[in-house]
Structure formats: C-alpha cells, structure tokens
Structure 1
Amino acid sequence: MADDNFNTINYGQAEIGAFLNQVSNGEVRFDKNEALGVVAELQTLIEGVGASREEMANGESIDGFGTLPSGVELVAGFRNKATLGRDAFRQYIEAIMQVQEGVLRAANAISEADAINARRLKLSAEALPEAS
C-alpha cells in the first residue's frame, strides 16, 4: 500500500495558481519572443526530469532477491518506491507545464499554450487508474 504522504507532492501549486490567476486577470504580460525563450528553458528542464523519470521506471522491474519472504518484500518495496518516484517526477513535469502555459498565455500565444495544455492533460491521464 502506498504511503498517502507521497501520492501528491506540492510543487508550488498555490504559487502557480496565483500566477495563472494574475495571467487570466491581465495583471501579468510577457513579450512573445521572451515568453518563447522562457518556455524553451522550461522545456529543457522537463526533458531532464523526464529522463530521470524514465530511469526511475527501471526500478519498477527490479528482481533478483530470491523467493524467500524477505526477498519478495524487498522487491515489492523497491518497486513501490520506484513507482512513487516516477509519479513524483510526473507531477513535477505537470507543474512546469502549467508555468509554460501561463507564460504563453501572458504573451497572448494562445495556440502554443493550448498545445502545452493538451500535452499536460495527456501526461496527467497517465495517473488515472486503468479501466478493467
């Protein structure tokens, strides 16, 4: 059973929400070229975190601790931590994408912001339990 303390991690959701509210109220504006530069830098961060997330997935297939109960428990524990870690990376990427979207909306780059929102929603759907 996963520890509920690790299911949702706060990556500044309140601050991101406040920023997005300021953007939607027109209180924050960016030049489009500068916004695209910021989004590109954030994309580099996403790619790095994404690579770490993929490496974390390797831990979900760990084995080799034998069939004794202690070995089975070790495998289960490592797999659980890897799953939790991969989910934490996903949440972090989603938060970065929210910032990207807000920056683009503040620059009135609506189609670019919508494209990032669609990618974020697709990533977020990975966290949903699979239907039987």
Structure 2
Amino acid sequence: MATTDYGQAEIAAFSSAITSAGHVKFDEAAVREVVRLYDVIIAQLTTQQREILKATQTEGFFGTLRSGQELASGFSNKAQEAYDTCSQFLQGIMRLQETYLRAAGLYEDADQKNAAAVRIATESMNNGQ
C-alpha cells in the first residue's frame, strides 16, 4: 500500500471517540442516508480501481528496448500507486460507514459493513500485487 495517510488517523480517532463515548446517538434515518451516499462512492471507486488494475499490465505495449521497458515499468508503478490509494480510500469510507452505523445503534448493519471491508481489503491485497 502507498505510505501516504489519507485521513486514516482522523477516521480512527473519530471511530474511537464515537465507540468509547457510549452516549453519542446519531439519527438512524440520517445515518442510513450517509451510508447510502458512501455506497455510491464505493461503487465508483471500485469501478475505477478495476480500470486502474488493467493499467498495471503494460507488457507488450512499449516494445523490447530498455527505454520502452523502463517506461512501461514507470506507468505500471504509477497505476499501482493509484490502485493502492483507492484501496485506502475504500477502507476509510467503509470504516466511516461502520462507525456511523454503530453510533445509530445499527450494530448488525455495522458488522456487515465490517465484514465487507475485510473482504474488500483481502481482495485489494490479492489484486494489488
């Protein structure tokens, strides 16, 4: 994964504050709407991530000369960085969804989002080379 922190620390702090406070209660309807909007973003990012993964496969596009191979490697590396960044965004969004759901008392839904986040993280690790 890329080493840049795209808000993971802030998301972790928010999640910790919400779950440890115990007395914070978010409106269920508002949380469901936020989760729905995040689902739209997740679908878009997942589509982009699949397209980016294709861009990591550069064999045969730049010829056999050393300069072509170096160019192919550079493009592939940039695509891999973009893929990893999308993975970080996806994990952050899903963590926020889970936190909001817990804050609304929707624990089963939160557990389902957590399971989906684990599944997507595993897929990203397997596809991320």
**Structure 1 equivalent of residue 109 of structure 2:** 112
Mapped pair 1:17 → 2:15: no
Which of 21, 30, 39 is 1:43 aligned to?
39
How many percent identity over aligned positions? Answer: 36
Equivalences for 1:92-111 in 2 at 5 Å? Answer: 92-111=89-108
> How many correspondences in the alignment?
125
Instruction: Name the TM-score, length of structure 1 as normaliser.
Output: 0.85
Which of 33, 48, 54 is 1:52 aligned to?
48
Query: Cα RMSD between the aligned structures?
Result: 1.8
Q: Is the 8 A contact 1:22 1:28 kept in 2?
A: no
Paired with 1:96 and 1:124, the residues of 2 have a C-alpha distance of: 12
CA change 1:28–1:8 in 2 (3 A) is farther
**Structure 1 equivalent of residue 28 of structure 2:** 32
Q: After TM superposition, give the deviation of residue 36 of structure 1 in Å.
A: 0.7
Question: Per-residue CA shift, 1:27-77, capped at 9, x if unaligned?
Answer: 532121211111001111111111211111121122321101011111111
Paired with 2:90 and 2:77, the residues of 1 have a C-alpha distance of: 20
**Unaligned segments of structure 1, at least 5 residues:** 1-5
- Partner amino acid, structure 2, of 1:119: A
**Unaligned segments of structure 2, at least 5 residues:** none
Q: Is the 8 A contact 1:9 1:91 kept in 2?
A: no
**Structure 2 equivalent of residue 69 of structure 1:** 66
